[in-house]
Amino acid sequence: MTSHKISRPRKRDAEATKQRILQAALEEFSTHGHSGARVDRVAEGAGVSKPMIYEYFGDKDTIYAAALREAYVRIRQAEKHLDLDALPPEAAIRELVRFTMNHFRRNPWFVSMLAIENLRGGQTIRQVGDAPLIQSVLVERVGEVLKRGIGAGLFRDDIDPVDFYVFIASLCYFPISNTHTLKAVFKLPVDDAWLDKRSADATEMLLGFLRQAP
């Protein structure tokens, strides 16, 4: 998420204003959590007055819900850039893992929003529903790759794409989401090099798993 000051507010443009608020809200909530977020800071970040925010969204919870939804929308958008069709199955898996790791690494605000929403018991995501907008595109890609791999006799055929995607996500999410405790507790150097190695090892692990007989 680019945090450089939003370009000078073009006044009297409702849609643009709403978008600026959303952007600021996403920054604020992902950095401070739900209770820690301050509507004042959202207003300042968006370059608008507080009443505008309430005009457009109603109350803090609704701003949060909108920000969470926005997080998913953006991530989904970013995921569309992944194209695995040209790659053979195993290479596709490699690319998938690499992509996922980078995805989380470059969009830590998304990882934060996930953590925050889960800490809240998923109250909001459950209501946002709106599956098509929210569901990861990656799962579809995974499904396609697995099918190709199975067809080529390379992968076992008893793996659910969602379950498998959760493995990928698990391996990529944790080192990013828990960077700080990993550094402090295990003295790990959670930097790009370490994450790249992690990504590579995870890939091997996952491919090994896929190659195993059921």
Partner DNA sequence: CATGAATGAGCTTTCATTCAT
Partner DNA sequence: GATGAATGAAAGCTCATTCAT
Contact positions vs DNA (CB under 7 A): 9-14, 17, 37-40, 48-52, 54-55, 58-61
Residues 6 or more apart whose CB falls under 8 angstroms from that of 135 comprise 76
Residue 119 binding: pick among a second copy, DNA, none (C-beta 5-8 Å cut-off by kind) = a second copy
Q: Is 34 in the site for a second copy (CB under 8 A)?
A: yes
Site for a second copy in 136-155 (CB under 8 A): 136, 139
Closest of 60, 67, 58, 59 to residue 1, by C-alpha:
67
Q: How far apart are CA 80 and CA 23, in angstroms?
A: 20
Residues 6 or more apart whose CB falls under 8 angstroms from that of 148 comprise 88, 89, 92
Burial 18-33 (b: 16+ CB within 10 A, else e): bebbbbbbbbbbbbeb
Report the residue from 14, 162, 191, 192 that binds a second copy according to the rule CB under 8 A.
162
Burial 195-205 (b: 16+ CB within 10 A, else e): beebbeebbee
Residues 6 or more apart whose CB falls under 8 angstroms from that of 43 comprise 24, 49, 50, 52, 53
| Shortest separation between residue 29's beta carbon and DNA, angstroms | 10
Q: What is the 8-class DSSP label of residue 130?
A: -
| Shortest separation between residue 81's beta carbon and DNA, angstroms | 32
Residue 39 binding: pick among DNA, a second copy, none (C-beta 5-8 Å cut-off by kind) = DNA
Residue 200 binding: pick among DNA, a second copy, none (C-beta 5-8 Å cut-off by kind) = none
Range in contact with a second copy (rule: CB under 8 A) among 17-25, 53-61, 88-96, 163-171 = 163-171
Range in contact with a second copy (rule: CB under 8 A) among 10-18, 48-56, 59-67, 175-183 = 175-183
Site for a second copy, rule CB under 8 A: 32-36, 112, 114-122, 125-126, 128-129, 131, 134-136, 139, 162-163, 165-167, 169-171, 173-175, 177-186, 188, 198, 201-202, 204-206, 208-209, 212
